[in-house]
Amino acid sequence: MGQSDLLVTGLNEINRVGPGDLVYVDHPKYYAKALNSAATTVLINKEVDVPEGKAIIVSDDPCRDYNRLMERFMPRPGWNRDDVSIGEGSEVHESVTIGPHVRIGRDCLIMPGVVLYAHTTIGDRTIIHANTVIGADPFYFKKRATGYDKMVPGGSVVIGDDVEIGALCTIDRGVSADTRIGKGTKIDNHVQVGHDTIIGERCLFAAHVAIAGAVVIEDDVTLWGQVGIPSKLRVGKGAVILGQSGIMSSVEGGKSYLGSPATEARQKLREIASMARLPDLIKKLED
């Protein structure tokens, strides 16, 4: 339906679509978002009015058919070392596992036990500490009556210059696009970064931070230990989220946040101080 002569140049899920992409949608909640997105072709489970300049493919199971397209046009490349590039001055320990089409920049240090999945790109002067995994599959499934169908991944991870990633971190590749970490960002041990997340420049993440998929973290953000960021939220430039906090919605930049659900730190501290006074206030009322 629609313009049958349109060329599909990419496959992308809804969070990262662009012109020329095919996107799938199978839930009424997201129909409008998909139809009004930049995608050129929409794979959908309902006949709808075709937006100008787009093509519609109607399927009884868009997720299944999207997976079939991914398997055909973006198959897993295996674990050979075809087309691997390691820049001048970089030290890569002999125990590092490197998949095909991996790019490592100049003067990098890749420590023992690191795993770099296919299509990972690492900038210059970047350090990755022991047993970190870059490019594992997204945690992204379609719930069925019989269980969960795995979304076939085709994305990658792109890490900028002068990044340092601690030991035992996991950075998942995008479902169909890139997970990105901006230049100068520093990440402590035991940090999880979900699929399709975009992390800006000069960010600082302490240990045990957990970031879900499709999050946008702008430049100069600090996340202290055990902070949790749910999927599809945005953290504004220069924000600071204090330890063990969890945001429930996107937050503005240039402010500090505390608690779970997190609010501005000064307000949260006033609330904590007020809570501490409650027993005395209740006792006075009872007297």
> Do the beta carbons of residue 123 and residue 180 sit within 8 Å?
no
Tally of CB atoms within 10 A around 190 = 18
Alpha carbon distance 185, 54 (integer Å): 39
> Do the beta carbons of residue 226 and residue 243 sit within 8 Å?
yes
* The one catalytic residue among 101, 119, 129, 195: 195
The yes-or-no answer on residue 195 being catalytic is yes
* Catalytic (active-site) positions: 195
